[in-house]
Amino acid sequence: MKTVELPHGACVPVLGQGTWGMGEKKSAHADEVAALRLGIELGMTLIDTAEMYGEGGAEEVVADAINGHRDDVFIVTKAYPHNASRSKLPKACERSLNGLRIDAIDLYLLHWREKTPLLEETVEAFEKLCSAGKIKRWGVSNLDVDDMKELFGIENGTNCAANQVLYNLENREIEFDLLPFLRHPSTLNHQLVLMAYSPVGHGRGLLENKTLKKIAKRHDATSAKIALAWVLRQPGAIAIPKASNEKHVRDNARSVDIKLTKEDLADLDQEFPPPKSKKSLPIL
């Protein structure tokens, strides 16, 4: 599978696995573990979770799925903004480490930004966790251009390794200014990657779209594969679809084989037009 480089020597696949909605029901635990394990076997070794998902439940599902495979996987988890202060972040990190049953988080993200704590404080807390060996790198999620500019102005702010944002055919807002900003040569120096969340539309009907189905037919593929291939056409982007169903996991893993043609891309642009003006970054 194609890979992307992150700071401090990590090379991760462009396709990972999400976990939002996992760890909420005991009865689903075994199936969720099996789905993530299958995804790991198929090369989707980056796993995205958060303390918010199932209030720690998803991290426990991940712990079981990666048991015996720690060296093969790259674990991303996220802290609530209300836990991102100087005093609370180390505790939240420790809870996540315990839940995940690992010694260090590969990438630790601020889930979204709130007025408090200030970004400076969160960056300082992230940097301390890096120095203590509790996390290998840190990043942010749901930060728009102005927030990113502010972050880069803070001491050590350019150590940010990722911004995880909503990006799929129906939500192309980042193409107007966030993506160009992240692609700007001065930003590229920082080795920051874009992680696209809800890449197959969060189960809200995107995959039923007629144009998407028509293009899927051309490739003898599914709508999900086309939706993922479309996200992955962005150089350096990582997509993190969530699938609890093994059929979906297999389908997603094979999306990396799809090469969209100019005709496909033009049809998709017509159905899902790129943004013509600034719209604030939507958050799910």
Please give the residue ranges that form the binding site for ligand NAP (CB under 6 A): 18-20, 48, 111, 141-142, 164, 197-203, 207, 222, 224, 240-245, 248, 251-252, 284
Residues near 135 by beta carbon (within 8 Å), at least 6 away in sequence:
93, 104, 105, 106, 107, 108, 126, 129
Sort residue 205 into left (φ over 0), alpha (ψ -120 to 50) or beta: left
> Which residue's CB is nearer to ligand NAP, number 8 or number 204?
204
Min dist CB 45 to ligand NAP, Å, is: 15
> Based on CB atoms, which residue is closest to ligand NAP, 77 or 85?
77
Q: What is the DSSP letter of 105?
A: B
Of 30 and 132, nearer to ligand NAP (C-beta) is 30
Radius of gyration of the chain (CA): 18
Instruction: Identify the three-state secondary structure at position 139.
Output: strand
Question: Taking CB positions, which residue lies at the least distance from ligand NAP?
Answer: 18
Least CB distance from residue 9 to ligand NAP, whole Å? 24
Cβ of residue 212: shortest distance to ligand NAP, in angstroms? 11
Query: What spatial distance separates the first Cα and last Cα of the chain, rounded to whole Å?
Result: 28
Length of the chain counted residue by residue: 284
Measured from the CB atom, the residue of 198 and 209 that comes closer to ligand NAP is 198
Which residue number, 83 or 142, has a Cβ lying nearer to ligand NAP? 142
**Nearest distance from C-beta of residue 50 to ligand NAP, angstroms:** 7
CB crowding 71-103: b at 16 or more within 10 Å, else e: eebbbbbbbbbebbbeeebbebbeebbebbebe
Q: Which is nearer to ligand NAP, 155 or 224 (CB)?
A: 224
Q: How far is the CB of 202 from ligand NAP (least distance, A)?
A: 4
Q: Is the peptide bond before 117 cis (omega within 30 degrees of 0)?
A: yes
CB of 112 to ligand NAP, least distance (A): 6
Residue with tokens 């966030």: 178
Using the minimum distance from each CB to ligand NAP, give the nearer residue, 102 or 227: 227
CB atoms within 10 A of CB 170: 17
CB 109 → ligand NAP: shortest distance, Å?
A: 7
Kindly report the backbone phi and psi dihedral angles of residue 109, in degrees, each rounded to the nearest multiple of 5, phi listed first.
Answer: -115, 150
- Residue 50: both structure tokens together: 């958060």
